[in-house]
Amino acid sequence: MGQQKFGVDSAACDKIAREVSELCKAGVQIGIVIGGGNIFRGIKAHQSGMARTPADHIGMLATLINGISLQQAFEKIQLESRIMSAISCDTMAEPYSWKKALTYLKNGSVLIFVGGTGNPYFTTDSAAALRAFEIQAEVLIKATKVDGIYNKDPIHPDAIKYDRVSYSEVLAKQLNVMDAAAIALCRENRLPIRVMNIFSDQTLKKAVFGENVGTLVEET
């Protein structure tokens, strides 16, 4: 969405593509789980009276739109990528396969995972955690417009940013950076989470190479 209020911002896609390309050239393997909230949010439609299952189905389709948009940004800079979908849409994305995903990563392709988990009632946060485990990721990066996790909404001037916080504290204090199921899955499998602002210059690169940016969620 970038600086827009709705839809896909090509400048935002291009920025992400350039930073991902730089990481790939450094030998980093990358899988991207993409959301669809810039187009449609299933939970809001449900609150407005739509049944939850079809509302979530529409949200899954929105992730496909975003996935294709991001892939086109990759194509412009000749970065090899694959879209893998948890929902059936064979003309636009190939079905998700764990073994194929690992092969693509090994061959240097960036993976774009769309369709969430393929199930209603599960967010793309949960999808990100699942895919991270399946592709044997070393870290799960939650890319947002906020520069980390705060003890309250950062619009408040007295909000305090965490540099490091435990999974249990995130859950106990309901810090709401990711849904509780995703946090619990990461805690169970001891997968660190780095929460950062994707639009800050070079933040993604710094996060991947272990610099102290954003907030790190892990066991303390």
Superfamily of domain 1-117: Acetylglutamate kinase-like (3.40.1160.10)
Nearest residue to 148 (alpha-carbon basis) of 207, 190, 188: 207
Same fold, 1-117 and 138-220: yes
pLDDT of amino acid 75: 97
pLDDT of amino acid 6: 84
pLDDT of amino acid 143: 92
The pLDDT tens digits along the chain (220 residues) read: 777 788 898 999 999 999 999 999 999 999 999 999 889 877 778 788 889 999 999 999 999 999 999 999 999 999 999 999 999 999 999 999 999 999 999 999 999 999 999 999 999 999 999 999 999 999 999 998 899 999 988 889 999 999 999 999 999 999 988 999 999 999 999 999 999 999 888 889 999 988 889 999 998 7
Determine the Cα–Cα distance for residues 15 and 109; give it in Å rounded to an integer. Answer: 18
Determine the Cα–Cα distance for residues 211 and 54; give it in Å rounded to an integer. Answer: 41
CB 90 within 8 A of CB 61: no
Query: What percentage of the chain reaches a pLDDT higher than 90?
Result: 79
Rounded to 5°, the CA angle 169-172-177 comes to 70
pLDDT of amino acid 218: 94
pLDDT of amino acid 41: 79
**Domain boundary assignment for the chain:** 1-117, 138-220
Determine the Cα–Cα distance for residues 213 and 197; give it in Å rounded to an integer. Answer: 9
CATH of region 138-220, choose from 3.30.70.1350, 3.40.1160.10, 3.40.50.300, 3.40.50.12780: 3.40.1160.10
Query: Residue 101 to residues 10, 25, 95, 123: CA-CA distances in angstroms?
Result: 26, 19, 10, 21
pLDDT of amino acid 126: 95
Please report how many Cα atoms fall inside a 13 Å half-sphere around the Cα of residue 75, on the Cβ side: 9
